[in-house]
Chain A
Amino acid sequence: GAGVSQTPSNKVTEKGKYVELRCDPISGHTALYWYRQSLGQGPEFLIYFQGTGAADDSGLPNDRFFAVRPEGSVSTLKIQRTERGDSAVYLCASSPTPGQHTGELFFGEGSRLTVL
């Protein structure tokens, strides 16, 4: 389809392991966002890319979290030494132009991460 694609849809891992989550945005969208959503809560901002560069990473909770977008399209969210508190749905969104409040963000279905 033409929407935002996220893989894997589900990931179960053990505490301390390394995890990568992938986001394939809508073709041509220059802005890409990562959010995460815990059970019963609204999504929380993690990081925003404009092109290849991280324009705002103020939402990353600590240095175990890192994200890249090397060619300005696909992005990977990387979590090192996972902890049980990292369990959540990780949502990716893209938009054709920057502006989270001046346009529409297109969200994927998310990657559900469970850390045992």
Chain B
Amino acid sequence: LAKTTQPISMDSYEGQEVNITCSHNNIATNDYITWYQQFPSQGPRFIIQGYKTKVTNEVASLFIPADRKSSTLSLPRVSLSDTAVYYCLVGEGNTPLVFGKGTRLSVIA
């Protein structure tokens, strides 16, 4: 049973805000929501993590509604270098990360 569902791919123009929504209907009480970014030939890179409401850091924002059954990663003003695969993961503690296929974001000039 898949823990998360996210779009396979998205396209955006440079300078736009990109929102990637992830569905996790069966999220458990102790689960956190984490997003990773992966460029070709590199390992995944942590972007942001949250439990509820909104989290913001220097690269992204994470919006989590009250029911926590979905989350949205928001990337402000994307550039060509943001072209990558973005993974949404949910889980608790030290259970293994389950990556899925992620969302392939293509930023177009």
Give me the interface of A with B, judged by CB distance under 8 Å. Answer: 4, 31, 35, 40-45, 48, 55-56, 58-59, 91, 93, 98-110
Closest to A105 in B: B46
Contact between A108 and B97, CB atoms less than 8 A apart: no
Could you tell me if A101 and B43 are in contact, using CB atoms closer than 8 angstroms? no
A101 with B34: CB separation less than 8 A: yes
Bound-complex Cα distance A94 to B97 (A):
13
Q: B: which residues have CB within 8 A of A?
A: 31-32, 34, 41-46, 49, 87, 89-102
The majority secondary structure among interface residues of chain A is loop
Report whether A42 and B91 are in contact in the complex, using a CB–CB cutoff of 8 Å.
Answer: no
Bound-state Cα–Cα, A59 to B91, Å: 16
Question: If the complex has contacts A99-B94, A101-B95, are A108 and B101 also in contact, measured as CB distance less than 8 A?
Answer: no
B97, A43: Cβ atoms closer than 8 Å: yes
Judging by beta carbons under 8 Å apart, are B91 and A100 in contact?
Answer: yes
Q: Are A44 and B99 in contact (CB under 8 A)?
A: yes
Residues from chain A with Cβ under 8 Å of B100 in the complex: 42
Our pick among B32, B42, B102 for the contact of A101 (Cβ within 8 Å) is B32
